[in-house]
Copies of this chain bind each other. A is one copy, B any other.
Amino acid sequence: MELSETPIPIWYVGQHLPTPAETLVEQTVNAAVANNYDFVTTYLTNENLQTRIKDIISKAAAAGDDHPDVESLSADEVRIFPGSYTTQIIAYTSPWIELDSEDPLVAEVSKSVLLHEIAYASYCGITRLVVLGPSRPQNASQFSEVLNSALAISPFMQLLVQLPIVEEDYDPKQATESALKNQLSSWDTWNTIRTVCSYNHNVTIALQISTRLPPAHVLSRWFTEPVRLLHISSAVFVLNAKGYPVLSQDHQTKLLSKYMKIQPTPYIVLADTLNSLCVPSPSASRALASGSPRRDDPLSFISYIRHLQKNQPPLDVFEKVGQGYQDYLQSPLQPLADNLESLTYEVFERDPVKYDQYEEAIRLALLDRDPDTPLAVAVVGAGRGPLVQRALNAEASSGRKIVMYAIEKNPNAFVTLQKRNKESWGGRVTLVKTDMRVWSPPTPIDILISELLGSFGDNELSPECLDGAQRVLNKNGGITIPQSYTAHFTPIMAPKIHAELKLRKEPDAQETPYVVLLHAVDILAQDQYIHNAWEFSHPLQKTDFSGNGHNVRRSKATFKIPYRGVVHGIAGYFESVLYGNVELSTRPDTMPTKSADMTSWFPIYFPLKTPLYVPDSSEMDVTFWRETDQRKVWYEWLAEAYLRLDNDQRIRLGLSELHSSKQNGCLM
Contacts and interface: CB of A to CB of B under 8 A. Distances in A.
A655 interface: yes
B145 A638 contact: yes
A616 interface: yes
Given A108-B552, A653-B613, A625 B65 contact: no
Interface in A138-182: 141-142, 144-145, 148-149
A640 interface: yes
Interface in A530-548: 542, 546-547
Contacts of A69: 546-547, 549
A613 B142 contact: no
Contact of A652 (B68, B547, B613, B625): B613
A580 interface: no
A631 interface: no
Given A188-B652, A627-B149, A654-B653, A638 B554 contact: no
A33 interface: no
Contacts of A652: 188, 564, 613, 615
Contact of A196 (B67, B145, B148, B658): B658
Contacts of A564: 652
A615 B642 CA distance: 10
Contacts of A549: 67-69, 108, 112
Contact of A104 (B547, B554, B656): B554
Interface string A226-245: 00000000000000000000
Contacts of A392: none
B658 A550 contact: no
5 contacts: A67-B547, A108-B549, A141-B638, A198-B658, A643-B653
A437 interface: no
Contact of A142 (B107, B554, B657): B554
B623 A145 contact: yes
B104 A141 contact: no
A655 B552 contact: no
A197 B658 contact: yes
A87 interface: no
A435 to B, nearest CB: 24
A651 interface: yes
Given A550-B67, A615-B651, A616-B651, A657 B145 contact: no
A556 interface: yes
Which interface residue of A69, A188, A196 has the most chain B CB atoms within 10 A? A196
A331 interface: no
Interface residues of A, number: 53
A305 to B, nearest CB: 37
A517 to B, nearest CB: 29
Nearest to A144: B658
B623 A142 contact: yes
A636 interface: yes
* Chain A residues touching B, majority SS: mixed
A195 interface: yes
A192 interface: yes
A303 interface: no
Given A145-B623, A550-B67, A655 B195 contact: yes
A19 interface: no
Given A141-B621, A141-B640, A654-B654, 8 more contacts: A142-B554, A145-B625, A145-B636, A195-B657, A196-B658, A197-B658, A610-B610, A616-B651
A141 B643 contact: no
A451 interface: no
A66 interface: yes
Contacts of A554: 104, 107, 142
B653 A653 contact: yes
A147 to B, nearest CB: 10
Nearest to A178: B649
Nearest to A69: B547
A353 to B, nearest CB: 34
Which interface residue of A67, A616, A627, A645 has the most chain B CB atoms within 10 A? A67
Contacts of A546: 69
Contacts of A625: 145
Given A192-B655, A643-B643, A552 B610 contact: no
Contacts of A610: 610
Nearest to A627: B149
B627 A658 contact: no
A354 to B, nearest CB: 31
Contacts of A68: 549
Contacts of A651: 615-616, 643
Contact of A65 (B550, B640, B657): B550
A641 to B, nearest CB: 8
Interface string A57-79: 00000000111110000000000
Nearest to A643: B643
